[in-house]
Amino acid sequence: MSRIHQAMQRARKQGWATDPLPSGVQQRPPEEVARCGPSTLVAQDADPPKKGPQEEPARRDFTELTETKTVPDSRLVALSNTTCDGLRDKLCCAKADLQAGGSDLKTILITSVSIADGKSLISVNLSISISKAPDQKVLLVDANLRSPSLHRMLGIPRENGLADLLRGTVAAQQVISRTDISNFYAVTAGSMVENPCELLNTRKMSDFLALAKKHFDWVFLDSPSLRPEPDADLMSAMVDAVVLVTRNSRSCAGPLRDSIGMLHGRNVLGVVLNNVDVKPV
C-alpha cells in the first residue's frame, strides 16, 4: 500500500476527512495531506458572509401603522377648500414631465427665504391637498429640528420623531404616524437636539429618505429657512427638488435673488409667493 493511501486511511480513522466541507472550501490534495498533515483546509473564493436579518434594512409596509388622531390647526385650509390645489396641480405636472424623461420627483424640500415666511403652513396644506387623490400616499417630515411646528399644526404627539431616528434610538416604523387624514402620513421632529446639522448630515438621513421613496408617492421635508442656519442648504442636496417660499413684501426681491443663488445647482421647481392679497379684477 502506498504511503499516500496509508495517510488517507489514517485521516479517515481520526475524523479529519469525514465532515462535509463548507461551500467554497477545497480539500487539500492527498499528496499534500501526506506531506504536511491534514490539519488545514484551503479556502478558495469563498462567498462573503451574509448579513444577519438584524442588519438588513427590511422594507416595511407603512400602511399597516396604527392610525393617529389629528386635531388640525384652523389654518389648514386644504382640509376644507381648494386654496392649494393650483400649487398641487403644478407639482403633479412637473412630476409627469420628469417621469416622461426617465426621472422621478418624490422627495421635495420646502424651505423659505427668511424666518416666518409661512413655509410650514404651505408644506402641510400642500401635502394634504395632494393626499386627496386616492392613489397618492404622502409623507410629510418635520425636518426643522430647531423650531418644529408640524406636531402643533396636526395636533399629534411629538415624541419619537426624526431626531430620535437619526440618533438610532427608534426605528423608521416608530416615527411615521398614519394620520386620520386619508393617504397622509407624518413624521414629527422628535426630541430637541443641540446639533441638528450634524444629525441631518448622516447616512441615516439618506437611508431614511431612500426607504420613504420606496413606500410613498410624495415625501415633503419642511425645513428651516435658508438663513441663518445651514440645515436647508445641506438637505437640498439629498432630495429630488426644492420649493422656495417667500412672503410678499416690497423688500423681498433682494433676499429672494440671494436665496436662489444659494441653491445654484439644485433642482428648484419654483417660488411660492405667500401672503398675497388677490383682489378680483
Q: What is the pLDDT of residues 110-135, one digit of tens each?
A: 999 999 899 999 999 999 999 999 89
Across the chain, mean pLDDT equals 81
**Virtual CA dihedral for 123, 127, 128, 133, nearest 10 degrees?**
160
Tell me, what's the pLDDT at 56?
A: 36
Using alpha carbons, select from 48, 35, 39, 49 the residue that is nearest to residue 4.
35
pLDDT at residue 265 greater than cutoff 60: yes
Residues 189, 142 contacting (CB under 8 angstroms): yes
Tell me, what's the pLDDT at 61?
A: 63
The strand pairing partners of 185, in sequence order, are 139, 178
pLDDT at residue 197 greater than cutoff 60: yes
pLDDT at residue 244 greater than cutoff 80: yes
Tell me, what's the pLDDT at 277?
A: 65
The ranges assigned to domains in the chain are: 3-43, 64-274
Highest mean pLDDT among 19-23, 55-59, 158-162, 256-260: 158-162
Tell me, what's the pLDDT at 40?
A: 34
- Cell numbers placing 136: 397618492
Give the strand pairing for 67-68 and 177-179: parallel
Tell me, what's the pLDDT at 6?
A: 55
Computed on alpha carbons and rounded to an integer, the radius of gyration of the chain in Å comes to 28
Tell me, what's the pLDDT at 278?
A: 61
Tell me, what's the pLDDT at 250?
A: 65
d(CA 180, CA 162): 20
Tell me, what's the pLDDT at 248?
A: 79
Using alpha carbons, select from 263, 215, 210, 216 the residue that is nearest to residue 241.
263
pLDDT at residue 142 greater than cutoff 90: yes
pLDDT > 70: percent of the chain: 75
pLDDT at residue 8 greater than cutoff 80: no
pLDDT at residue 29 greater than cutoff 70: no
Q: If you search the block for the grid coordinates 416690497, which residue do you land on?
A: 250
CA 202 to chain centre: 11
Q: Considering only 31-40, 122-131, 132-141, 250-259, which range has the smallest mean pLDDT? A: 31-40
Q: Does domain 64-274 have CATH number 3.90.550.10?
A: no
Q: If you search the block for the grid coordinates 489514517, which residue do you land on?
A: 10
Name the DSSP class of 180: S
pTM here is 0.77
pLDDT at residue 32 greater than cutoff 50: no
pLDDT at residue 64 greater than cutoff 70: yes
Contacts 24+ apart (CB under 8 A), 204-207: 204/165, 204/166, 204/168, 205/166, 205/235, 205/238, 206/238, 207/57
Please give the backbone phi and psi of residue 35, each rounded to the nearest 5 degrees, phi first. Answer: -85, -40
pLDDT at residue 38 greater than cutoff 80: no
The strand pairing partners of 139, in sequence order, are 185, 219
Tell me, what's the pLDDT at 28?
A: 44
